[in-house]
Amino acid sequence: MKKIINDPKNIVDEMAEGLVLAYPRYVKRVALAEKDQAVIVRSNKKTGKAALVSGGGSGHEPSHAGYVGEGMLDAAVCGAMFTSPTPDAVFEAVKAVDVGKGVLLVIKNYTGDVMNFEMAGEMAEAEGIKTAKVIVNDDVAVMNSTWTVGRRGIAGTVLVHKIAGAAAEAGLDLEAVRNIGERVIANVRSMGIALSPCTVPAAGKPGFELGDDEIEIGLGIHGEPGVARGKLKAADELAEHILADYILKDNPINPGEEVAVLVNGLGGTPLMEQFIINRRVHEILTKKGVKIYATNVGNYMTAIEMAGFSVSILKLDAELKKFYDARADTIAWRNLG
């Protein structure tokens, strides 16, 4: 194992410290008793709005701390590597950002995340803080997996952060923000392909093995198994396979409808290759008469150093487009129109 780290036990603590030192204009840190977790909040706390809190295990950077800031999240909870943050850590995040308008918990559909965020919500309610939740399950690959009951939450979660975050920033109340988040979840579908595994530092070895010419189709962001293991094919074939055979079959898009496209790297894939995937995605959608309203290409939700990519397609309506376009200024997403 080759990692540029110190002690594996201190990775999250040292990463969070370095993040805050790099971007003090955007974020600051809330003190926690647990050193293997971190809570990152907006440097300039926004009042008069419903707050958004999300998070999960570390190792998916820039998710989720990279989306803390204007127009997106008010706090992100960074658990230990690939491990859900504790209810206490999530509760500290909720308390830190609540301004009396309630807090929306944006949860990826993993058993530990759902359980711990829900427990934190109950703790907050007991303290008089109103909470609501949305559970993101955009992965069309598998219905049940290593860590989930139902579909997993993957890179489509970032689009929930963006659009629900904009709704909150615009002053919508907690229930309206939750409803916007649910609409995004209902209309976004994602799927990924891995070319190589990743290594959790504490484990010291890859989470799975792939041959030099093998790929994992439909894997999860923690290296969970996908739908099949196959041979490496050309980029166009890979893009068409997950888009035509999975994403669009699960959520058909009619000619004339508008979508946002998110091509996401998993940590070890060059932008060059991501752009090649994006080219084919655009070709397929355009040929079907689908209008591509917006596209983002880059590393939005990674799996440490895993090579591979995912594609997310979000069907848009007029209100979702408005919030997609709204100003956001965070470390990892800057839409300053």
Q: Among residues 64, 161, 222, 241, which one is catalytic? A: 222
Using an 8 Å Cβ cutoff, are 57 and 33 in contact? Answer: no
CB count in 10 Å sphere of residue 294? 15
60 is catalytic: yes
CA distance 171 to 174: 9
Catalytic residue check, 222: yes
Contact 170, 63 (CB under 8 A): no
Which structure tokens are listed for 86? 């504790």
Own/partner contacts of 287-291, CB < 8 Å, gap of 24 or more, are 288/248, 288/253, 288/255, 289/254, 289/255, 289/256, 290/253, 290/254, 290/255, 290/256, 290/257, 290/258, 290/259, 291/256, 291/257, 291/258, 291/259
Strand-by-strand arrangement of the 328-330 sheet: 69-70, 328-330, 334-335
Structure tokens that stand for 39 in this block: 């809570």
Active site positions, annotated: 60, 222
